[in-house]
Amino acid sequence: MKVNLRKIIGTLGSHCSLQVLKGAKDEGFKTLLISEKKRYHVYNRFSFIDHVILVDKFRDILEAGIQNRLNDLNCILIPHGTLISSLSSDEIESIDVPVFGNKFILRWEANRSLKQKLMIESKLQIPRTIKSKGEINDLCIVKLHGAAGGKGYFLASDKKGFEEGYNKLLNDNVITDEKQLYIQEYVKGVPVFLHFFYSPISGDIEFMGVDRRYESDIDGISRIPSKHQLDVQIEPTYNVIGNIPLVLRESLLDDVYQMGENFVQASERLVPPGIPGPFCLEGVYTKDAKFISFEFSARIVAGTNLYISGSQYSNFLFENGMSMGRRIALEIKNAINKRKLDTILT
Ligand code: AMP
């Protein structure tokens, strides 16, 4: 792909857009926000946003007129969770504006069997998949294919529990078929989200931060005494409301870096050009401090919003507080200076 020097960093107005555009501004770029009209009153407050394209809905980014405007402005689009939840993988790949990172690996994030393949290739330990409801004999988490932010997940310890959860989703018109569900071993321990950045320009993998999520209502259930929990028959949900900072025991860092390196190498083998930029390994640390990974995100995650002024870990690597959004902009700047922009864009 032939690329010119591109000087505007743009993204969809949601998820981590404030962090991305503030970071871009701090690195000296002009910034652009694609905002839904109904949300613009929020973004209008921030002086680091230079250009705005207003749309009725994020899907409008597929229109040639909008993509022409982005290209006329020399825009590099930073993908995040909202792009993935608004468009299909085919649609994302069809975007004719330079996308930061590898837009083709986003398909591997969205598709459960591709995801599993990449995680196995990365030598990550993953939870057991339960093939059918008849095989459930311990606590399982039942997920919806492509669910956003854990909505619609339920727990089951046997076939009967599965059927109860399934019927509820059916009655609520959330699903139409059992095939839309995916049963996974429930890993007992504490959920942790590891934020990485890989720079093909320097060749380094940077561990940038770690968070845990604050999910409703699973994180509120412990505030209800068990007697009342039984009375109201709560079925926990995993809707992400926010994120909470975390530091790891220092002795875990060795494994953390190894997992990051394995993931980068596996991505390069399976989905060229690999994973330039941010990614996140998401899992549970068990009581033996083993990391069992249930997900990855092949782009910036919203948990990095915690570290606008740098994290405990990024502060070891960079002089100034370095957010993930700013790290993206710095990579683009370094790539422009070394005339290697085409190695970090697709
Ligand atoms: P996800 O949407 O896959 O990131 O999952 C949403 C939430 O479900 C996570 O934050 C975890 O709390 C929980 N979760 C997902 N998979 C598992 C698993 N296999 N074992 C235990 N908890 C899980």
Could you read off the pLDDT of 191-219 as tens digits, one per residue? 999 999 999 999 999 999 999 999 998 89
Look at ligand 1, atom 2, and give the residue with the nearest C-alpha. Answer: 150
Q: Say which CATH class 8-101 falls into.
A: alpha beta
Choose one of 85, 115, 141 to mutate for the ligand 1 pocket test, by most ligand atoms within 8 angstroms of C-beta. Answer: 141
Domain spans, the chain: 8-101, 110-125+188-213+242-336, 129-185
pLDDT, tens digit, 9 for 90 and up, residues 251-279 = 999 999 999 999 999 999 999 999 999 99
Query: Is the pLDDT score of 1 beyond 60?
Result: no
Strands 277-285 and 190-198 come out as: antiparallel
- Amino acid letter for position 235: E
Handedness of CA 248, 281, 257, 307 (dihedral sign): negative
214 Cα: distance to centroid of ligand 1 (angstroms):
12
Beta strands in the chain (DSSP E): 8-12, 30-36, 51-55, 75-77, 129-130, 140-144, 154-156, 181-185, 190-198, 205-217, 238-245, 277-285, 291-297
Give, as one character, the DSSP assignment of residue 157.
Answer: S
- Prediction pTM value: 0.94
- What residue ranges line ligand 1, CB within 6 angstroms? 127, 141, 150, 153, 184-187, 191, 213, 215, 238, 282, 284, 294-295
Q: Say which CATH class 110-125+188-213+242-336 falls into.
A: alpha beta
Look at ligand 1, atom 19, and give the residue with the nearest C-alpha. Answer: 186
Say if residue 278 is preceded by a cis peptide, omega within 30 of 0.
no
294 Cα: distance to centroid of ligand 1 (angstroms):
7
Fold that domain 129-185 belongs to in CATH: Dna Ligase; domain 1 (3.30.1490)
Res. 280 pLDDT band, cuts 50 70 90: very high
